[in-house]
Structure 1
Amino acid sequence: MLNAADHGGLRLRRRDSTATHFVQIVTGEFAAAATACPILLTKKAATGAFFAGAMFGFRPGENLLGATTGGRDVFWPLDLERQAFYIAGDGIAIDRHHPRIDEADGDPLFDEEGQPSPRLRRIQRILGQLKSGLEETDRFIATLLAHRLVEPIDIGMRFDDGERIELNGLYTVSLDALHELDDATALALFRNGYLQLAYCMAGSLKQIPLLAERRNARLAHGA
């Protein structure tokens, strides 16, 4: 458990933007994510439960989003920003062996008086957002499933180097099923914000070919 007595000298390194190609997000992040990458559903291997994720690339460890001209990430999920920290009951647990945790490099977790630093306070806020956000996202997905609005999507891409990548086990929102909803159901989904989220997911699929273009551009640059 995180505390100043045991962890007062620890520091948090800057995040690694190449860490993942698919990361869990919550509904509060959908609008920002949809402008940069596809939002898809997949199932947890351990439980088979659906979760929502943002796809950054086509292979593990591949991040095709990069950063803006100002050096800021185009989109960076809360789940990546809180890496090395976890909710544990009413407190926060820290993984001291995580690559982001160091004793010399990075921002301090506590100030000289043993109080949380600005960086740690941000982590605390993020963990709170994730806790409530995951609960809301589970309710959203359950609603999609209840109305049979989820459909599988197979993604097959051939790249300029001749490699073909097939992505299976992914799901999206069925626009056909959305349009077949009766007026009362559509109105109920609209009023709780779920209709907007569903269209946000469907619209984010246009980012798939854009990611492919970025991958081809990197291949050409590497060649």
Structure 2
Amino acid sequence: MPDWQMLNRADHAALRLSRRIDTPRHFAQIVADEFLKAAPYYPILFTKHPETGAFYAGVVMGLEPGRNLLSADGALRDYRPADLERQGFFIAEGQVVIDREHAAFAKDEGAALFEATGEATPALKRVQQALHTLDQGLAATDAFIRRLLDHWLLEPIDVAMQFDNGQSVQLDGLYTISLDALHALPDEAVLALFRAGDLQLAYAQTTSVRHLRTLGRIHNDRLAAAQ
């Protein structure tokens, strides 16, 4: 069961935060402001929330649940999405709350959250920035996705991979932006998307899909190494 506590120096001065907890995460939600930071490293795709059916964006880091193909020693080597950076931390009624039972809070390793002076350490500042990124970015990302849907720009993407040992993987429920549909829009619609900053995000997302091949290669190499 989660152990929710309001973050404060008096109770959590000795708490240490580990970043080596990314291995089980094969998918992480991102907001629109992260697209340009994430696109050089991860496939960005859209999926639907299982309960609400609402679309959201995320990065794919593995081909099966519980296995991150891009982490090394438990941590990502490149851009770390805010959803991962803030693991164990939440916002409740405007205050930072932690789940003391979360794996992010290491017992014998990791970085302190508070300086001796009581100020936030760089580790905690990264978490605070991640929480801010998500808090400010979720609504803007929902609006971006609504504009895509208004123009029928999202389409399912078929991700089927066959590996040298005969294993196959099929990723379902993922969507990408259709460049064909985008390029077929009337000029006034394209101009509106451009002025909203959507075109830059659309091209970053569609270009990032090429990283699926990287994930497939890594998965194939690990299967071969395990034989």
- Scaled by the length of structure 1, what TM-score is found? 0.91
Q: Name the counterpart of 1:170.
A: 174
Match status 1:219 vs 2:223: yes
1:38–1:204 contact (8 Å) kept in structure 2 = yes
Deviation, structure 1 residue 111: 2.6
Q: Name the counterpart of 1:108.
A: 112
2:162–2:168 contact (8 Å) kept in structure 1 = yes
Calculate percent identity across the aligned residue pairs: 50
2:112–2:121 contact (8 Å) kept in structure 1 = yes
Q: Name the counterpart of 1:134.
A: 138
Equivalent AA in structure 1 for residue 62 of structure 2? G
Q: Deviations over 1:19-66 (max 9, x none)?
A: 211110111221232222211100111211111010011111222224
Q: Name the counterpart of 2:197.
A: 193
Over the aligned positions, Cα root-mean-square deviation in angstroms equals: 1.8
Deviation, structure 1 residue 103: 4.7
Identify if the C-alpha distance between structure 1 residues 135 and 15 changes in structure 2 by more than 3 Å, giving closer, same or farther. Answer: farther
Q: Name the counterpart of 2:39.
A: 34
Candidates 69, 82, 102, aligned match of 1:98 = 102
Identify if the C-alpha distance between structure 1 residues 161 and 194 changes in structure 2 by more than 3 Å, giving closer, same or farther. Answer: same
Candidates 77, 83, 86, aligned match of 2:81 = 77
Equivalent AA in structure 1 for residue 9 of structure 2? A
2:69–2:218 contact (8 Å) kept in structure 1 = yes
Q: Name the counterpart of 2:158.
A: 154
Q: Provide the aligned length of Structure 1 versus Structure 2.
A: 220
SS of the counterpart of 1:137? helix
Written as runs of structure 1 = structure 2, the 5 A alignment for 1:53-92 is: 53-66=58-71, 73-92=77-96
Task: Give the Cα–Cα distance (whole angstroms) in 2 for the partners of residues 209 and 116 of structure 1.
Answer: 40
2:21–2:103 contact (8 Å) kept in structure 1 = no
Task: Give the Cα–Cα distance (whole angstroms) in 1 for the partners of residues 60 and 76 of structure 2.
Answer: 18
Q: Deviations over 1:108-134 (max 9, x none)?
A: 212334332232122112211121122
SS of the counterpart of 1:161? coil
Match status 1:18 vs 2:23: yes
Candidates 50, 54, 59, aligned match of 1:45 = 50
Identify if the C-alpha distance between structure 1 residues 102 and 218 changes in structure 2 by more than 3 Å, giving closer, same or farther. Answer: closer
Candidates 205, 208, 215, aligned match of 1:204 = 208
Identify if the C-alpha distance between structure 1 residues 219 and 75 changes in structure 2 by more than 3 Å, giving closer, same or farther. Answer: farther
Task: Give the Cα–Cα distance (whole angstroms) in 2 for the partners of residues 212 and 3 of structure 1.
Answer: 43
Task: Give the Cα–Cα distance (whole angstroms) in 2 for the partners of residues 154 and 54 of structure 1.
Answer: 16
SS of the counterpart of 1:140? helix
